[in-house]
Amino acid sequence: MHAQIVLFEGFDPLDVIAPYEVLWAGGNASGGALTVELVSAEGPRTVVSGSGGLTLRATATLDPARADLIVVPGASGPLGHDDAEGEIGGDTIPALLARTVGTALPALLREALARPAVTVATVCGGSLALAMAGLLEGRRAVTHHLGMDLLGATGAIPIAARIVDDGDLISAGGVTSGLDLGLYLLERFLGPRIARAVEVLFEYERRGTVWRDCGLAAVAG
């Protein structure tokens, strides 16, 4: 199994590194059943994050034909507010995410979602990046709690959970949920023994219940 984690200008480093380390450790624990790499829509290059100019190196091009799993991070930067003219000022998180719509990334992610063998996962604002590109209409997803209203405004169905499993789309909430996402992906694709081995190695246990559209619905009141 091969995983690609996407870098774009302004990405949040923890959204990338947390799932990368978990998936990489799972690959080691499984004897190489999972490999992982950092990619960008534009190919191998150094990509600047939204956290103080920290950079990471994409070593390959995002390729839905080669990946079994694609992980999309959110952005890092000031939250900001609309200015007097209604324009988002500066490199705010919404502006950074919206900027991805004008790159080659949305088309590649659309291709990935159209491939039955590919699973797309997101961390924090990664689901918003997909939603802003019109890729999540009618899909159940979660993002950082501050972005849930925006997620719903795009036509997605916001679910208040740490991890939301909507089949070939798996989304995680705020930045630290990247650890939980990585461990859930290990459990789902490699099994609970590999996920547990990485939990023990990292001295971290997953938080919350993974939401899936199954079972009884809770009764209000």
Q: Give CA–CA dist 43/183, Å, rounded.
A: 27
Q: Determine which one of 34, 36, 124, 141 is catalytic.
A: 124
Q: Give CA–CA dist 114/168, Å, rounded.
A: 10
Q: Which residues have CB under 8 Å from 182's CB, separation 6+? A: 18, 19, 20, 21, 22, 23, 26, 198
Do residues 15 and 78 touch, judged by C-beta distance below 8 A?
A: no
Q: Give CA–CA dist 208/198, Å, rounded.
A: 17
Q: Which residues have CB under 8 Å from 13's CB, separation 6+? A: 49, 51, 54, 56, 76
Q: Give CA–CA dist 172/200, Å, rounded.
A: 21
Active site residue 214: no
Q: Which residues have CB under 8 Å from 65's CB, separation 6+? A: 115
Residues labelled catalytic: 124
